[in-house]
Structure 1
Amino acid sequence: MSIDLNLSLSENFRLKEAIASQTASRLGINNLPNVEQTACIVKVAQHILQPVRNRFGIPFSPSSWFRCLDLNHQIGSKSTSQHTKGQAVDFEVPGISNLEVAKWLEANLSFDQLILEYWNQDEPNAGWIHCSFIDQSSNRGHAKRFDGKHYLTGLEG
């Protein structure tokens, strides 16, 4: 069975963006999701990425989305990462402060975890946004920031 990499996940996002990985390509890792993972990827596209795209009106591609277990291991991430389930995505919106995007997301969307990673108030475009989505009834709505050493409650200190 072949997988259509141009499969539309939402109006502006395709499956090929969810599985894109330079590390996987370089190491020959088959970073393809199964049916359950694909269903989760679709939810992230429809409930997180597309609403962000609609709100800010700026095209963007996620920097990290789905990671098969082998890829996740190769990059040194935790085995419990929601990326391996297709439930998490890392992204930035060009030209918009990551804090501004994260604050809008926190105020307007349902999410499981929202983490402002490596953000620096002196460099508004520093770091990235990590956001996960399970489903409307299971999402915890945890918003925090990561400074490189510690997870801190809330998006701002």
Structure 2
Amino acid sequence: MRLGRAIIPSGACINCSPSAKLPPATRTSWTCSTHAPEILQARVERRHRHSSRMDAPTKLSANFALEELLVSDTARKHGIANTPTPEHLANIKRYLVPGLEAIRTLVGGKPVRSHSAYRNPAVNALVGGTPTSAHPLGFADDITVEGLGAEALARIIAKAMTARLIRIDQLILESGRGVVHVSFDPRARGMRGHQPRGAGTPINWRFFG
């Protein structure tokens, strides 16, 4: 029988006979046909546990994980590591995630989908973001909610802002992209606007009255 590259001699199993006299460098590789399945299964389980730890999302709250806030097709396409600095990661945790949870509450617990949250400066420039964008600081996200159109979602948030149920720095309905931009910059200026034609184009700051 073989396990890896070692040929297993009869009666020399270290599991059956720990005192079996085998070369020190190979002792841990030898086992008999009875114990081989146990050894192999244990190895598989260890690898599975290790893989699960590596692949498990980094939960920042009950409903949001760090990985979904860093996803960027543009970064992937250009081979850019869209990794936040410690300061920007702190902003994501302290301001952005609690804000997204608040929006989830406003829409009755429906999942809020992140389309473009954190962008490092290089990624932000490639997508046409402005130099003053809140995305590279970790404050902003472009979101949708299943079952709600972008304008309907924006109006729900705008109404909550008026009622002082949520503090938002910028709310922008980007109807051309079908998303709602929300920024939780702690300045919380309460700006609300409509941008019908995409990044870098004029914003109507009187759209919501």
TM-score range, shorter chain: 0.7 to 0.9
Cα offset, 1:5, TM superposition: 7.6
Task: Return the alpha-carbon distance in structure 1 between the equivalents of residues 192 and 126 of structure 2.
Answer: 27
2:168 aligns to what? Answer: 111
- Equivalent residues of 1:9, 1:46 under 8 A apart: no
Ranges in structure 1 where 5+ consecutive residues have no aligned partner: 120-125
**Which residue of 124, 136, 148 corresponds with 1:96?**
148
Structure 1 SS opposite 2:97 = helix
TM-score, structure 2 normalization: 0.63
Root-mean-square deviation (Å): 2.2
1:125-140 aligned within 5 A: 127-135=178-186, 138-140=187-189
- Equivalent residues of 1:113, 1:133 under 8 A apart: yes
Tell me the matched-pair count. Answer: 146
Cα offset, 1:60, TM superposition: 3.3
Task: Return the alpha-carbon distance in structure 2 between the equivalents of residues 115 and 5 of structure 1.
Answer: 33
Please list every run of at least 4 consecutive aligned residues from structure 1 whose deviation after the TM superposition is greater than 6 angstroms: none
Percent of matched pairs sharing the same residue: 33
Task: Return the alpha-carbon distance in structure 2 between the equivalents of residues 96 and 83 of structure 1.
Answer: 23
2:59 aligns to what? Answer: 8
Name the CA shift for 1:133/1:116 in 2 (closer, same or farther; >3 Å): same
Cα offset, 1:155, TM superposition: 4.0
Deviations 1:106-143 (Å, cap 9, x if unpaired)?
22310000001126xxxxxx7210010122xx210011
Ranges in structure 2 where 5+ consecutive residues have no aligned partner: 1-54
Task: Return the alpha-carbon distance in structure 2 between the equivalents of residues 58 and 34 of structure 1.
Answer: 30
- Equivalent residues of 2:96, 2:183 under 8 A apart: yes
Name the CA shift for 1:5/1:32 in 2 (closer, same or farther; >3 Å): farther
Structure 2 SS opposite 1:144 = strand
1:40 aligns with 2:97: no
**Greater RCO, 1 or 2 (C-alpha within 8 Å, sep 6+):** 1
Which structure has the larger Rg?
2
Range that drifts further, 94-103 or 108-117: 94-103
- Equivalent residues of 2:151, 2:175 under 8 A apart: no
Task: Return the alpha-carbon distance in structure 2 between the equivalents of residues 109 and 90 of structure 1.
Answer: 17
1:12-23 aligned within 5 A: 12-23=63-74
Structure 1 SS opposite 2:180 = strand
1:39-78 aligned within 5 A: 39-42=90-93, 43-47=95-99, 49-56=100-107, 57-78=109-130
